[in-house]
Structure formats: structure tokens, C-alpha cells
């Protein structure tokens, strides 16, 4: 049985940063993730996509952000159970929890923090004949390495941030990028919509709307797609392509966590914004997995939620200890990673 102070379900950016905040309070963490690697959506869906809204980083690749988070928590030596899905939870008489994975690994902790993001990753797929035949043979639902598309002819379908962001990014990588969307309006950020329009005007991107892909052709690998305009004329055109990337989003599936007796609203766990605790005392939900009025599914919001969660978890685990908030400069001097460092004089703020 693995024992820890805070058991974190989900090793995405939120779960990883929670380890740091818990470490500052001298709380040990163990993370469970169904994926074989840490990083959540950043590693699994868009490791090479730049992110522009992490404070202090004008631009950072999602994969690099994960590497940095792993570096930041290294000294706190978190435990990892990777490639296993948290399946069941049992509350013991003393208020602590046992969480068991689909492979039978048991974890025991006084506090459980669910940082499960979107849950298990299930891409929404277009309804097309012979789709399966071309999966991994020209069709992909996520872009893990954009270099795969260097000098290739790529068609992307979709109308959200993913489709827009990747169309913009691949315009500099692929030999030809075509974005096909069922509507004339996009759901993504206005900035990205404007950028796509700009690239179209510069002849660096083909934009076909309102339209849809209705057939896939090729022998062993994908050779062309048939695009039909959604209009009275229903014009059709065959486009020669190497790759087709439908980016219709991921269908949100909470998975087994949905059966744990937690209050759920629209596939997300309801929390109290005081400390991101759920309706079950001792179980918190942070990051994309939770919901509350005004919720934004952004990495920086997950970081904030993880920070407040840890403060509350500290009080729960050590009800008799007085909590003193310290800025991290103190950690540098005292060496929370075990090394002596020159650091500015610490500022200590007491919270009564
Ligand atoms: C294409 C794209 C671009 C984006 N761009 C930005 C951006 O520019 N800026 C920004 O702030 N945000 C962006 N986001 C959103 C951002 O990625 C999410 O807000 C962030 O990943 C949420 O982090 P998280 O740790 O809460 O969840 P996730 O990253 O989803 O990680 C959750 C982890 O929990 C695991 N898990 C779930 N259920 C279980 C279970 N039962 N057992 C074990 N493990 C489980 C999953 O496997 C996953 O690894 C983007 C998202 C996408 C898809």
C-alpha cells in the first residue's frame, strides 16, 4: 500500500504544480495518471504548441512547460503511479481514503486531490467510411510532433481553438495547409480567427467554409479527400493530401470518478471556491476537472486552485499546527531542496 499526505489523481500541469505547493508546506504527494507520462493535455495533445498565457513566460512550448514543472517539483520527490487509472475510492472510519487503480494498486491518504482534467482522452471522430483504415496512415486526431507534417499537404477540419491554432502553426511547417469548417464562424479566440484570415489573404493557408469532408480515398495510405460545400450548390472538390487531421475536440468522460458520489455538473465536479473542496470533505477537485461560477479552463487557473487546495489540505492534515505562510525566498535560504543558496532576505507573513 502506497501512503502519502496528498494523493493527486491526474499528473497534468495542475497536479504537478500542486506537488510544489504541497512541498512548501512539507506535505508529501503521490500522483496517479492513466497515461504513461506526466503532463496531461500538454504532453498528450499539444506538446509542441506554444502557450502564451503563462505568467512570466511570453512563450513556452507545452512540453517544455511540463519539463519545467517536473524540474520544479524534483526536490520534493513525489511518487508516481503511471499508466493506471484511479478506479475506486473508499473512505475509512478515521476519515482517510484508499484509492485503488484498475491494476489493483492501493493508495492511502488523508486527502485526495482530483486533478483529472478532461478525464480519459477520447477524440470525437468524423462519421466517414474507411476512417479506421487510414488511422495512423494519414489520419491523426492529435498533433504530438508537428515535424511529422513538414513539407506535407495537410487538411485540418474543425472550428475551435485546436483547429485554428494548429492551422496557424502548420502554415509555416507544411507545404500546404487547408482548413475546412462546417460554418463560416469559428468558436476559437478572436485573435486566432484574425490570424487565420490574415494567412489566407497572404496565400499561406486555404480556408474552405462552410464545408465538410465527405470521403477519404487511397490504397494503403491516404491520398485525397472529397470536400463538399454546405450550400445549395453542394459543390464538390477532390483535394490531394498526405494528412487529414480532424480536430473536433475530446468528448469529456470523467470515467470512474463520476461514480464516487461527488456532485457533478456538465461532466465536471462542483467545488467550493474557498478551497476547491468537493461535497465530500477531504476530497478536492482542481484544474479542468472542476466547475464553479466563472470557471475558466486555463492552466494558470489550475495553478491558483492547486495553491489554495494545499493550504486547506494542510489544515486538515495538521489541525493542531499553526500555519505560517512564507515566500519561497525562505525556502531558497533554508534549502527546501537540500541545497544552501544565496537568496534575498526572506519576508515572512503570518496568517492568523
Ligand atoms: C489544443 C489545446 C490548446 C490549449 N492551449 C492552452 C493555452 O494556450 N493556455 C492555457 O492556459 N490552456 C490551454 N489549454 C487548456 C490546458 O491544456 C488545460 O487547462 C490544462 O491541461 C488543464 O490541466 P489539468 O492538469 O487540470 O488537466 P489535464 O491536463 O487534462 O490532465 C489531467 C490528467 O488526469 C488524468 N486522469 C483523468 N482521470 C484519471 C483517472 N481516473 N485516473 C488516473 N488519471 C486520470 C489524465 O490522464 C490526464 O493526464 C489548451 C488545451 C488544448 C486541448
Ligand 1 pocket at CB < 6 A: 9-15, 32-35, 40-42, 45-46, 49, 51, 53, 85-86, 115-119, 161-162, 255-257, 287-288, 297-300, 302
Check whether residue 196 and residue 139 sit in a common domain: yes
Cα–Cα distance measured from residue 325 to residue 125, given in angstroms and rounded to the nearest whole number: 48
Substitution candidate for ligand 1 out of 10, 88, 99, 251 with most atoms within 8 A of CB: 10
From ligand 1's centre to the CA of 288, what distance in Å? 6
Residue 261, φ and ψ in degrees, nearest 5: 85, 15
Cis preceding linkage at 210, omega within 30 = yes
Domain termination residue (choose one: 220, 246, 272):
246
Residue 16: domain span: 2-121+250-351
Cα–Cα distance measured from residue 87 to residue 102, given in angstroms and rounded to the nearest whole number: 6
Q: Is 14 annotated as a binding residue?
A: yes
CATH number for 29: 3.50.50.60
From ligand 1's centre to the CA of 342, what distance in Å? 36
Q: Is 329 annotated as a binding residue?
A: yes
Contact predicate 213/180, CB 8 Å: yes
Q: Is 77 annotated as a binding residue?
A: no
Closest CA to 247 of 154, 173, 120: 154
State the total domains in the chain: 2
From ligand 1's centre to the CA of 129, what distance in Å? 31
Q: Is 288 annotated as a binding residue?
A: yes
Cα–Cα distance measured from residue 307 to residue 286, given in angstroms and rounded to the nearest whole number: 10
Cα–Cα distance measured from residue 110 to residue 24, given in angstroms and rounded to the nearest whole number: 18
Check whether residue 182 and residue 39 sit in a common domain: no
Per-residue pLDDT of the chain (352 residues; tens, 9 = 90+): 999 999 999 999 999 999 999 999 999 999 999 887 899 999 988 888 999 999 999 999 999 999 999 999 999 999 999 988 899 999 999 999 999 998 899 999 999 999 999 886 667 899 999 999 999 899 998 787 889 999 999 999 999 988 999 999 999 999 999 999 999 999 988 999 999 999 999 999 999 999 999 999 999 899 999 999 998 778 999 999 999 999 998 766 788 999 999 999 988 999 999 999 999 999 999 999 999 999 999 999 999 999 999 999 999 999 988 777 777 765 554 455 545 554 333 344 444 3
Provide the whole-model pTM: 0.71
For residue 259, give the DSSP letter: G
Cα–Cα distance measured from residue 108 to residue 93, given in angstroms and rounded to the nearest whole number: 13
Check whether residue 139 and residue 197 sit in a common domain: yes
Domain termination residue (choose one: 246, 266, 300):
246
Cα–Cα distance measured from residue 111 to residue 18, given in angstroms and rounded to the nearest whole number: 13
Atom 1 of ligand 1, nearest CA residue: 162
Other beta carbons within 10 angstroms of residue 132's beta carbon come to: 11
Check whether residue 26 and residue 6 sit in a common domain: yes
Amino acid at each position: 500500500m502506497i501512503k502519502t499526505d496528498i494523493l493527486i489523481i491526474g499528473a497534468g500541469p495542475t497536479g504537478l504544480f500542486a506537488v510544489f505547493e504541497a512541498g512548501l508546506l512539507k506535505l508529501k504527494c503521490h500522483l496517479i495518471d492513466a497515461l504513461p507520462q506526466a503532463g496531461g493535455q500538454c504532453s498528450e495533445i499539444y506538446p509542441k504548441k506554444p502557450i502564451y498565457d503563462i505568467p512570466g513566460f511570453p512563450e513556452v512550448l507545452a512540453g517544455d512547460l511540463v519539463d519545467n514543472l517536473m524540474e520544479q517539483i524534483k526536490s520534493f520527490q513525489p511518487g508516481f503511479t503511471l499508466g493506471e487509472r484511479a478506479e475506486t475510492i473508499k473512505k475509512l472510519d478515521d476519515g482517510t481514503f484508499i484509492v485503488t487503480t484498475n491494476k489493483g494498486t492501493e493508495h492511502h491518504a488523508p486527502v485526495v486531490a482530483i486533478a483529472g482534467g478532461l478525464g480519459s482522452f477520447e477524440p470525437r471522430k468524423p462519421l466517414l467510411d474507411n476512417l479506421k483504415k487510414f488511422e495512423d496512415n494519414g489520419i491523426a486526431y492529435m498533433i504530438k510532433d508537428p515535424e511529422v507534417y513538414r513539407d506535407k499537404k495537410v487538411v485540418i477540419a474543425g472550428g475551435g481553438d485546436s483547429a485554428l491554432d494548429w492551422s496557424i502553426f502548420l502554415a509555416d511547417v507544411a507545404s500546404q495547409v487547408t482548413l475546412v469548417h462546417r460554418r463560416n464562424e469559428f468558436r476559437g479566440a478572436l485573435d486566432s480567427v484574425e490570424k487565420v484570415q490574415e494567412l489566407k489573404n497572404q496565400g499561406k493557408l486555404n480556408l474552405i467554409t462552410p464545408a465538410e469532408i465527405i470521403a477519404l480515398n487511397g490504397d494503403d495510405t491516404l491520398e485525397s479527400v472529397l470536400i463538399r460545400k454546405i450550400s445549395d450548390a453542394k459543390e464538390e472538390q477532390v483535394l490531394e493530401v498526405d494528412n487529414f487531421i480532424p480536430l473536433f475536440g475530446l468528448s469529456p468522460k470523467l470515467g470512474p470518478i463520476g461514480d464516487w458520489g461527488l456532485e457533478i455538473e456538465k461532466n465536471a465536479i462542483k467545488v467550493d471556491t474557498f478551497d476547491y473542496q468537493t461535497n465530500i470533505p477531504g476530497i478536492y477537485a482542481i484544474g479542468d476537472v472542476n466547475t464553479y461560477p466563472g470557471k475558466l479552463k486555463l492552466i494558470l487557473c489550475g495553478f491558483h486552485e492547486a495553491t489554495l487546495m494545499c493550504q486547506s489540505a494542510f489544515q486538515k492534515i495538521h489541525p493542531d499546527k499553526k500555519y505560517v505562510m512564507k515566500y519561497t525566498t525562505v525556502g531558497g535560504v533554508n534549502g527546501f531542496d537540500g541545497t544552501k543558496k544565496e537568496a534575498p532576505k526572506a519576508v515572512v507573513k503570518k496568517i492568523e
